[in-house]
Chains A and B, each alone.
Chain A
Amino acid sequence: MFEDFAYARPESVAQAAQLLQDETAHALAGGSDLLGCLRERIFPVKTIVSLSSLKELRGIARTAEGGLSLGALTTLAEVAGSTEVQTLYPGLAQAAAEVASPQLRNQGTLGGNLCQKTRCWYYRGDFDCLRKGGASCLAVHGENHLHCIFGGDACYMVHPSDTAPMLQALQATVWVAGPAGDRSLPLEQLFMPPAQDPTRETTLQPGELVTHIHLPPPMAGQQTSYRKVRARRSWDFALAGVALAVIIEDEIVTSCRMVLSGAAPFPWQATQAEALLTGAALTRERVRAAASAAMQGAEPLTHNAYKIELFKGIIQEELARLVRE
């Protein structure tokens, strides 16, 4: 049984924003992450603000520019099954289809997927870790097989989302509503690096909620893909994943975005690999060099150096697939 809480179902985004200004009030979308957190009593929750009446946050629409606007409450099953997403950004449909299980994709939303908490077992378990206000990140000297190899600082979680790396590769914009009105930000700015604040996952201010995710129209010839490796075939989080948005013209890469999941406390953009690939032909040597470049500067913990080879492998395989197609 969960701790007692009050429940509100606002009829407008403005009302939701008002209720969410309280630090102990939490937005409820599909509940697939929040209810798990309630069960483990990870943080105090006094009020649940159900977003279920906010119909305007649901569904997928074309933007005037020819891209897509995805409502924060659109379920992952709807994203994966949308013919528009499949046609314009197949990699995003793939990423959404790789999340969890069929039941969780039916209830989990895109907004919730971006704002979910880390699955670090110290955070989820009965441990007083840094992210929960404790003295230090227990993964550093503990069981860190699934933790980060990049971007760790004070806390060494990995960001659990499969859709976030793909959305970042697609240069998505996040629309946010709050007490002070609406604002938009590039998706990468939604995530809070632990170096800045290891107790928060997003840069959302009190009272703010994600309303939409906007995708620019796909560039001519753009190929997108998401590849995820997990420990078992049925549902699991990514050990390593790579999201690609690439344009190849006359065998030369003219544009490349590569964002990794399972690597860092936020989607990790492999900028060195992108630079090495842009303007080059995807020869075997270049592909291998790009995979190494993507892993340059990795700082594995005691039990997760295997991720470096895993990433190199999937990056090479995915790039090789692009050449074949």
Chain B
Amino acid sequence: MSSSAKSPPPGIGMSRRGFLKSMSVSAVATTLTTTVATGAATLATATRTAAHDDAPPQLIQGLTPLTLTVNGNDHTVLAEPRWTLLHVLRECLGITSPKPGCERGECGSCTVLVDGVARYACLMLALEAQGKSIETVEGLMHGEALGPVQQAFLEEDALQCGYCTPGQIMAAEALLRHQPDPTLEEIRVGMSGNLCRCGAYRHILTAVAAAAIKKKS
């Protein structure tokens, strides 16, 4: 369930698939306007009270409007406090590259970037992501072309079933932004939060090293 208040315009930074998805999402949105109204009241009160230091902050319960910035686009959805960022990305926004694996912070398949650093979307409440910049594999595309890390994974055959791949790619992306010239040991540490049940590790490490070179050219 979601509403895409500011539907991002198709074009630069958005693939055709992403555009089609956001269209179907805003179609759902129109059916939701009545529920949005009640939720909006809750958040409005919450922010107003929060401004006064001594008054206890308003408790948010049930569906509440929430604006998330994903790959540079703002999306407003209705979310419950108990929904994780992973849940909202996939089930409300149709952004399905972050994958649910363990949902306990153990496997890394849900890895996204939050304000430029890699985090597990399964262990973050969606409400905590408000006001932060969220990036997923969808945001690494250059129009219809793959970004350098994606391209390196493709060329190095760094996957078998591919389920862990979006998480691996985001972990690699974060690593290379902070360490553009990683040693093999640094790659190992940087990628240690991502498991691959198919055991494609050797090719994954090669792909990250290849992506480091690609990113510079």
Contacts and interface: CB of A to CB of B under 8 A. Distances in A.
B58 interface: yes
Nearest to B108: A103
Contacts of B190: 102
Contacts of A50: 125, 127-128
A2 B122 CA distance: 12
Interface string A10-43: 1110110011000000001011100110110000
A101 B53 contact: no
Contact of B128 (A2, A31, A234, A235): A31
B56 A6 contact: no
Interface string B105-132: 1101001001001111011110110000
A36 B127 contact: no
B183 to A, nearest CB: 15
B125 A48 contact: yes
Given A11-B50, A12-B53, A102-B171, A52 B128 contact: yes
Given A15-B53, A52-B128, A7 B61 contact: yes
Contacts of A10: 50, 56-57
A234 B192 contact: yes
A31 to B, nearest CB: 5
Contacts, number: 118
A179 to B, nearest CB: 12
A3 B122 CA distance: 15
Contacts of A276: none
B123 A2 contact: no
Contact of B193 (A36, A47, A233, A235): A235
Interface in A93-123: 100-104, 106-107
B74 interface: no
Contact of B57 (A11, A31, A103): A11
A28 B125 contact: yes
Contacts of A240: none
Interface stretch (B79-87, B139-147, B155-163, B205-213): B79-87
A35 B123 contact: yes
A238 to B, nearest CB: 16
Contacts of A77: 117
A314 to B, nearest CB: 21
B154 interface: no
B193 A102 contact: yes
Contacts of A2: 82
A7 B108 contact: no
Contacts of B184: none
Contacts of A14: 53-54
Contacts of A15: 53, 56-57
A8 interface: yes
Contact of B120 (A5, A7, A104, A234): A104
B44 interface: no
A194 B119 CA distance: 33
Nearest to A81: B178
Contacts of B125: 7, 28, 31, 35, 48, 50
A159 B122 CA distance: 24
Nearest to A124: B104
A123 to B, nearest CB: 14
B60 interface: yes
Given A7-B125, A31-B125, A48-B125, A104 B57 contact: no
Nearest to B113: A106
A31 B124 contact: yes
Interface in B46-71: 46, 50-51, 53-54, 56-61
Nearest to B125: A31
B12 interface: no
Contacts of A235: 106, 192-193
B123 A32 contact: yes
Nearest to B120: A103
A35 B111 CA distance: 16
Interface string A262-284: 00000000000000000000000
Interface of B: 46, 50-51, 53-54, 56-61, 80-82, 84, 87, 103-106, 108, 111, 114, 117-120, 122-125, 127-128, 171, 174-175, 189-190, 192-195
14 contacts: A1-B87, A4-B82, A6-B81, A7-B61, A9-B46, A31-B125, A35-B84, A35-B125, A48-B81, A101-B108, A102-B190, A103-B105, A106-B114, A235-B192
Given A102-B189, A107-B119, A234-B193, 17 more contacts: A4-B61, A4-B82, A5-B61, A5-B82, A7-B125, A8-B56, A8-B57, A8-B59, A9-B50, A11-B51, A18-B56, A28-B125, A101-B105, A102-B193, A103-B105, A235-B106, A235-B193
